[in-house]
Amino acid sequence: MIGTSFAEEVKALPGGEALEMCYSCGTCTSKCMIQLKQEPEYNPRRLLRMVMMEMRAQAFANPTTWLCSACDLCYPACPQQIHISDVITAVKQIASQNGIKTPLATSVVNQQTCVACGLCVEVCPYDAISLQVVKVPYRGAVPVAVVESNLCMACGLCGAVCRSNSIGIPEEYSDLDVVEDIWSWLRPEGASL
């Protein structure tokens, strides 16, 4: 929006209205599994500070914008009771509206083999997949699964349920690595599968 600050844009979106309530205590970061297990630079309070300081380009490039899975482990710990994930989602939405794409790996659809059964749509916890009529070479205009990359968190559930093996995370990301990573969050320190 022309003439509107970045912070005002974020606050105008659902969930973004809590932006100014954050006083940067860092409690959200200390409870975050992304920060603990995957990305040491992940820091929600810094992202919120970037928004308040009009650092739009830096906020859009920051991994925190794209890695939040909205698990809300941070919410019960927040002394201000801010749904940090809602504020981050508002930042992500503005980034998407400005044509910024996620730097993360996301699920990919083989439109030649997709039968549009809709199972992937049903299991996606991030509402990142929809069925759309698309013009596919040699098939014509047919319904296929389409992934909104800025919503996809590469959890792999879509690929796990796809009967035609038409959707999934690119090969360089091993399913076993993803499963092991998820289990490592759940089991006690030092235990193995």
CA dist 177 and 171 (Å) reads 11
CA dist 81 and 31 (Å) reads 14
| pLDDT score, position 175 | 54
**Do 6-97 and 108-186 share a fold?**
no
Domain 108-186 = CATH 3.40.50.300: no
DSSP-assigned letter for residue 62: S
- State both tokens at 116: 């549009």
Indicate the pTM of the whole model: 0.71
Q: What is the dihedral of CA 123, 126, 132, 138, to 10 degrees?
A: -70
| pLDDT score, position 172 | 63
| pLDDT score, position 191 | 57
31: closest CA among 83, 89, 73?
73
| pLDDT score, position 143 | 96
| pLDDT score, position 40 | 79
Q: Residue ranges per domain, the chain? A: 6-97, 108-186
| pLDDT score, position 140 | 92
| pLDDT score, position 90 | 92
CA dist 129 and 132 (Å) reads 9
Where do we find the tokens 């309530």? 21
**Sign of the torsion angle spanned by Cα atoms 29, 34, 37, 39:** negative
| pLDDT score, position 178 | 56
Q: Are strands 167-168 and 129-136 parallel, antiparallel or unpaired?
A: unpaired
| pLDDT score, position 112 | 94
| pLDDT score, position 189 | 62
Would you give per-residue pLDDT tens digits along the chain (193 residues)? Answer: 556 899 999 999 998 898 889 888 888 888 888 877 777 788 888 999 999 999 999 999 888 888 888 888 888 989 998 889 899 999 999 998 999 988 888 899 999 999 999 999 999 998 999 999 999 999 999 999 999 988 888 888 999 999 999 998 886 655 555 556 666 656 666 555 5
Report the 10 Å Cβ neighbour count for 70. Answer: 15
Residue type, 44: P
Report the 10 Å Cβ neighbour count for 34. Answer: 21
CATH no. for 6-97? 1.10.1060.10
| pLDDT score, position 43 | 87
User: Contact, 42 vs 85, CB < 8 A?
Assistant: no
Contacts of 175 (CB under 8 A, 6+ apart): 156, 159, 169
Where do we find the tokens 């006083």? 23
